[in-house]
Copies of this chain bind each other. A is one copy, B any other.
Amino acid sequence: MEIIVPNVTPFTKDNRIDKDRLKEHLENLIEKGIDIIFINGTTGMGPSLSAEEKKEILNISYDVTGKIIFQLGGLNLDDTLNLLQYSRDFDIIGVASYSPYYYPQLPSKWVIRYFKTLVEKSPHPVYVYNFPAATGFDMNYELMKQIDGLAGLKDTNDNFVHSLQYKRFLNIKVYNGSDYLTVQSLTYLDGTVTAGGNYMPELLSLQKKLVSEGKINDAFEVQKTYYKFLDIARKYGQMSAHYILVKELQGYDVGYPREPLYPLTEDEIKQLEADVKEIKNEYTFILDKYGITS
């Protein structure tokens, strides 16, 4: 079972990738026991990155670890194929792509063809990234069955029946991507992809440890604290809140998001910090209880 974090991408004030901060962040995640980093995901603002920037992020990340799934999807297939080609020299876990987004009512046969092309051309195992709420397209298990050679799937979905179906009907790795289903996904699927791991890697590792020891109830208790910080992220505009929460809980700076996301305002940051302060002792209490150093 794996815990996977779709990392936040640190930007500078003038909208460029902040290399040093990205490195520091990934080093911390790996050190805290995260199994795989999912780069250029939604949390990392993948759809807003140019092909060049996706390469740059792969390079920076690879300096830290090879435990990488390289998300390289987009709406220009030439770009995607170039990125596949580019990834050839990197010894990584796999590549991933969301299905083509934006275009409504894409015939499913085209989406299948898209992923078949990826499998055919890829030097690495291919993971499908299913996120219907973002792409408007549901890459369900019946469509997945039509593509041979896939390695796995990230299903970002609160509908847990939906994720369980892939596990029933396909012989691939299945990860659920809802922040709120970490323990459940570790128990019934192959693991979880959770943005909350950016700022709570210790709690995420602990959930994995407890589930792997069969201590489901303890894991569920830990998850309840995990939930409380996720709630704070949602309260303040989730994706931008990540940038502040890493600082609050991990102690270092991951820079800024980039438009069309906007950084939280001064006021929002103050309120968020007050919210964190109120429950932070729960976080440290759990770490102490289980003898974890943060």
Residues of chain A touching chain B, judged by Cβ–Cβ distance below 8 Å, are 15, 42, 47-48, 50, 75-78, 100-107, 110-111, 113-114, 133-136, 158-162, 164, 168, 178, 180-181, 183-184, 187-188, 214, 216, 220, 224, 227, 237-239, 258-262
Contact = CB atoms under 8 A, between A and B. Distances in A.
A77 B238 CA distance: 20
Contact of A136 (B78, B133, B187, B214): B133
Contacts of A105: 238
A168 B220 CA distance: 11
Contacts of A107: 237
B42 A103 contact: yes
13 contacts: A47-B102, A77-B258, A77-B260, A102-B135, A105-B238, A134-B136, A136-B136, A158-B159, A158-B161, A158-B162, A160-B160, A184-B188, A214-B216
A220 B188 contact: yes
Given A102-B102, A114-B259, A259-B77, A187 B216 contact: yes
A238 B110 CA distance: 13
B114 A227 contact: no
A213 to B, nearest CB: 12
Contact of A159 (B111, B159, B164, B184): B159
Contacts of A47: 75, 102-103
Nearest to A79: B50
Contact of A180 (B102, B113, B114, B164): B164
